[in-house]
Amino acid sequence: MENIRLPYNEEAERGVLGALFLDPENIFKISHIIEVEDFYLTPHRIIFSIILEIFEEGKHFDLITVKNRLQEKGLLENAGGDIYISSLVDNVPMLKNIEEYAEIIVDKAKVRKLMSVAEKILTEGSNDTPSKHLISLVEKDLFEVAIGRNKDVLKLLKDGIVDVISSIEERRDFYLRNKSTQGIVSPFSDLNRFIPAFQPGELVIVAARPSIGKTSFALSMALDIAKKGHVVSIFSLEMPFDQIALRLLCMEGEVNVKAAREGSLSEAEYNKLVQAANALENLKIYVDDSASLTVADLRAKLQKLKMDNDGKLDLVLVDYLQLMHEKTDKREMGNRALEVSQISRGLKILAKDLHVPFIVLSQLNRAIEQRKDAQPMLSDLRESGSIEQDADIVMFLHRKDTKKVGVSEDDSKIPFKDIDLIVAKNRNGPIARVKLLFHKSCTKFVSMQPHMV
């Protein structure tokens, strides 16, 4: 395209590269947004390609390692030279805006691609190319610009059959060796009859009204699963880290949470907590108690965690969905239902991308309190019907006297309280209702034992 200036933003390109050198963890924020080809200036393309190369090797990058790799490949001068690369860290406007800078670069790249398509139309049109052929010629190019990085297209069934059979064989071999289902198995035997294991990529919603025990249920799951050697990540937007740790300690040691919080522990109870601390010391449970969280934040943190654990991440817990927020267009501000829809869809996509099951807690709306039995239904999921659509599994925690009182550690002298776990949606299995026991003093959920029925 002679005499036509192609659009690009040098400041944004320098801003992204500079922000990556100043804080390499920014790579987790943009690796899913931008590609090497999106950079316009050749030195910037070369530098970013080397950053990605080092990152994808599972190694840490900085100015020194990038320049060294460029030198080894004979690309240092093509990338602008030593002094130019070092200058990229100068005058970076705002590190926290790296995602916006990346989106500017991607947008300019799309415009350039569209201009290239337009040039093709002019060239072919001036050669008397028939309109049908011309449309067919540029249709594919326009489609690729439109979908961007989303390269998922229609697949022929036979192309996926081999992979499906291979996956079935792998699960069958696992079952024959271990006499259990591959995946993340819950600690609740009755539930496992209907959901043998949570599978990678599944979005599992666990919902209830306040004070029914959502957090306790999630932590009971996390503790048991981590004790089986799995890597578990907990995102708690409501409860701070020290309270999460206290709950887990009391669950493991079966010690009264209230007594531990007050300090009114007996010698025996204190010793139980010490033993519990020793037992939990080597578990791979990671807790993030950020009060503000977007799906993009979650993606960046989990990608880093997965990288730090040699690619291993087995379960993600989010407490709870309605406390998350999402960046929205100004025209959509104030539309909470739309925002929650974006969050639930984003969580499902993230679960698939990371190949990890997500268990996400959710609130129910107040409509449940108007019904006689207060039994939850799918339509009670608060603020968005899309939660039901996006979820692979939806479970409700319910107790028949919900309208009277919630679960607490000291609302009764009865040590256990039975709670219904209702599987209201199960994309790959039956719906069901099972009974669990809530151990109120240590806020722990356990399976209903025959002698307790």
* CA 382 to centroid of chain Cα atoms: 20
Closest CA to 206 of 391, 447, 339, 390: 391
Which of 21-35, 112-126, 178-192, 391-405 shows the highest mean pLDDT?
21-35
Query: Residue 332: is its pLDDT beyond 80?
Result: no
Q: How far apart are CA 63 and CA 75, in angstroms?
A: 14
For 269-290, write each residue's pLDDT tens digit. 888 888 888 888 889 999 998 8
Q: How far apart are CA 356 and CA 77, in angstroms?
A: 42
Q: Which CATH class is domain 184-452?
A: alpha beta
pLDDT tens per residue across span 386-397: 888 888 999 998
Predicted TM-score of the model (pTM): 0.70
DSSP 322: G
What is the rounded distance in angstroms from the CA atom of residue 422 to the CA atom of residue 434? 7
CA distances from 209 to 203, 388, 405, 433 (A): 20, 16, 11, 17
Whether the per-residue pLDDT at 451 is higher than 60: the answer is: no
Report which secondary-structure segment, H or E, holds 243.
helix 241-253
Lowest mean pLDDT among 23-37, 144-158, 348-362, 410-424: 144-158
Cis peptide before 320 (omega within 30 of 0): yes
Q: Select, from the ranges 133-137, 150-154, 302-306, the one with the highest average predicted confidence (pLDDT).
A: 302-306
| Average pLDDT rounded to a whole number, residues 4-22 | 92
Tally of CA atoms within 13 A in the half-sphere of 210 that contains its CB: 4
Give the CA count within 13 Å in the CB-facing half-sphere of 192.
Answer: 15
Can you name the residues that pair with 433 across neighbouring β-strands? Answer: 422
CATH of domain 10-147: 1.10.860.10
Query: How sure is the predictor about 212, in pLDDT bands with cuts at 50, 70 and 90?
Result: confident
CA distance 340 to 294: 11
Place of tokens 């192609």: 6
How far apart (Å, rounded) are the C-alpha atoms in residues 227 and 187?
Answer: 11
Cα 26 to its chain centre, rounded Å, is 17
Helix pair angle (295-308, 336-354), 10° resolution: 20
What are the residue ranges spanned by the domains of the chain? 10-147, 154-182, 184-452
The yes-or-no verdict on residue 441 having pLDDT over 90 is no
pLDDT band at 452 (very low <50, low <70, confident <90, very high): very low
